[in-house]
């Protein structure tokens, strides 16, 4: 199993940037897939960006070119660098780790973008 802890959320103005962190309790190489999801009030939880153990990445169309997912293997941490934020990015951001076809979720971190 794996525990995931997100951090880095907060309040930012439109056009600002934030970097979210997802710290894993084991080597991220051992985790098949790590994704950042977000959920706004009254909406479903959607994939924002993901990275596989092999390093392949994918992004939702709405964040392409603005968000970047990366990892630091020495810290067992995956990052989500978010730039050019707008109010539509306001949500709770969750980290998911998929290991042996089982999904593990973090507790989430709130991102609020003011207009």
pLDDT digits (tens, 9 = 90+) for 53-90: 999 999 999 999 999 999 999 999 999 999 999 999 99
Mean pLDDT rounded to a whole number for the chain:
97
Q: Can you read off the two tokens belonging to residue 16?
A: 């600002």
Listed residue (114, 109, 115) closest to 39, CA to CA = 109
Q: Give the pLDDT score at 37.
A: 98
Kindly state the helix (H) or strand (E) to which residue 24 belongs, with its residue range.
strand 18-24
């Amino acid at each position: 199993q794996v525990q995931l802890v997100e951090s880095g959320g907060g309040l930012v103005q439109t056009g600002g940037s934030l970097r979210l962190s997802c710290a894993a309790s084991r080597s991220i190489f051992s985790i098949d897939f790590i994704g950042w999801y977000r959920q706004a009030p009254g909406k479903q939880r959607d994939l924002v960006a993901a990275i596989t153990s092999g390093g392949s990445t994918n992004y939702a169309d709405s964040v392409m070119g603005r968000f970047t997912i990366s990892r630091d293997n020495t810290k067992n941490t995956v990052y989500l660098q978010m730039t050019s934020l707008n109010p539509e990015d306001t949500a709770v951001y969750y980290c998911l780790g998929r290991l042996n076809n089982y999904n593990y979720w973090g507790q989430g971190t709130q991102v609020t973008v003011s207009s």
